[in-house]
Amino acid sequence: MNLTAPAKRACLPLALALALAAPWAQAQQPDATDAGAAESANGLPLEELRMFAEVYGRIKDAYVEPVDDRELLQSAIRGMLAGLDPHSTYLEPEAFESLQVHTSGEFGGLGIEVGMEDGFVRVIAPIDDTPAKRAGIKAGDLIIKLDDTPVQGMALTEAVDMMRGEIGSEIRLTIVREGIEKPFEVTLVRDAIKVVSVKSRELEPEYGYLRITQFQLNTAQDMREALLELSAQRPLKGLVLDLRNNPGGVLQAAVDVADAFLDGGLVVYTEGRLPSSQLKFSAGPETLAGDVPLVVLINGGSASASEIVAGALQDHRRAVLMGTDSFGKGSVQTVLPLAGERAVKLTTARYFTPNGRSIQAQGIHPDIIVEEGRLTDVQHEDLIKERDLAGHLENGTADAGSNGDNGLAERDFQLYQALNLLKALNIVSAPRDNQS
């Protein structure tokens, strides 16, 4: 039998569909009169497979330009994953290599963690000390254009590839931001991004500050070293752990960070369909931070691993959470290597806090809500105080002290409130002197 050219082209996808169906179809021959005729014995939808073969053949025959079979099949794989959730994706060799480099802490680009939402690229969080952060990109921003190219319809990997490029080259982002009526443009210069995941400093004597920008392989060890350095001179009276705009990262790093503040108990557990996705992570009996009062700062850019840490410390009542609701990414992605240096990043489980709360699409709600803001002094120049009266008595001490300035409040109102809370906790818990 001689086949025409269109018929030959149609044979490939039809053979593919039938080959996929064969292992299941052999178990049971479908009855055309049966309502379940389109289903095989194992539930494989044969009608949809035939539809796939038909669409494949129509594209090969009727698309305006010739399409390579490999390209069509690669696109089908991308489409399968894109239809699942925003975090499942097909990684071609360059993207797979980039993902591995990203978790080690050094990569090139803009310094921005992104996801897909309604066909647009949504900013999960800008990374500290990167072009995105310096340009004022904020968590929650929607990127609708890259240079002159609309992102709607792009796969996330395509958008990420466009944002990366040669160091020193420019890219123009068109952004939609809540509260601003019209889209606006921001031009960024690509740079080599080396993420320092842990930063620390003393806010005031005996009050420390730890900032974790992202959870990498070495984050827990870096945090322990920073914490020991902060408490080397004198014991801490309070500590702020800043997880704002932390997009997450390595799960084990998050567990180890929580472990530094807990003296035992469950940190997080995962549930999925595969036995390998049924996991529990617990803290050891030793704690590095002891019972130092702890405030954890979170916001809408705190996602994934940072939500695990915040949720565990909140459930164990080890810390007071302050800020705004976190992002709500409570799903686990597993990277499954494929042939040809490719991989599939597939959502395989959900995270749950020790008390059984699902983080997914809910996020972590802080104990004390503090919105971003700025504190300014209200001057009451018409009020007269004791020190304004002629002949007033002096205070009688060498240093009357001062109320300090509002520098921190003006720079970072949420951090200012966290410091005030730590001071209040120390006042309340301080032993009272015996009075006769």
Query: 60, 133, 145, 329: which is the annotated catalytic residue?
Result: 329
| Cβ partners under 8 Å of residue 86, min gap 6 | 115, 116, 117, 156
Query: 40, 88, 304, 306: which is the annotated catalytic residue?
Result: 304
| Cβ partners under 8 Å of residue 276, min gap 6 | none
Cα separation, 336 vs 343, whole angstroms: 5
Structure tokens at 11: 């044979």
Cα separation, 276 vs 311, whole angstroms: 23
Cα separation, 332 vs 271, whole angstroms: 9
**Neighbouring C-beta atoms of residue 41, cutoff 10 Å:** 14
Q: Does the annotation count 329 as an active-site position? A: yes
Per DSSP (E only), the strands in 273-399 are 279-283, 294-298, 320-323, 331-338, 342-352, 368-369
Given CA atoms 145, 149, 154, 157 in this order, what sign does their dihedral have?
negative
Cα separation, 95 vs 91, whole angstroms: 5
Q: Does the annotation count 385 as an active-site position? A: no
Cα separation, 389 vs 97, whole angstroms: 73
Structure tokens at 307: 């939500």
Q: Does the annotation count 194 as an active-site position? A: no
Query: 141, 222, 242, 315: which is the annotated catalytic residue?
Result: 315
Pair 107, 113: CB distance under 8 Å: no
Pair 253, 217: CB distance under 8 Å: yes
> Nearest CA to 299 among 404, 211, 231, 221?
211
Angstrom CA distances, 346 to 86, 276, 365, stand at: 10, 14, 27
> Nearest CA to 108 among 119, 100, 116, 98?
98
Pair 345, 319: CB distance under 8 Å: no
Cα separation, 214 vs 219, whole angstroms: 8
Q: What is the DSSP letter of 396?
A: S
CA atoms within 13 A on the CB side of 8: 5
Residue 27's φ and ψ, nearest 5 degrees, are -70, -25
Cα separation, 142 vs 265, whole angstroms: 39
**Neighbouring C-beta atoms of residue 193, cutoff 10 Å:** 22
Catalytic residues: 304, 315, 329
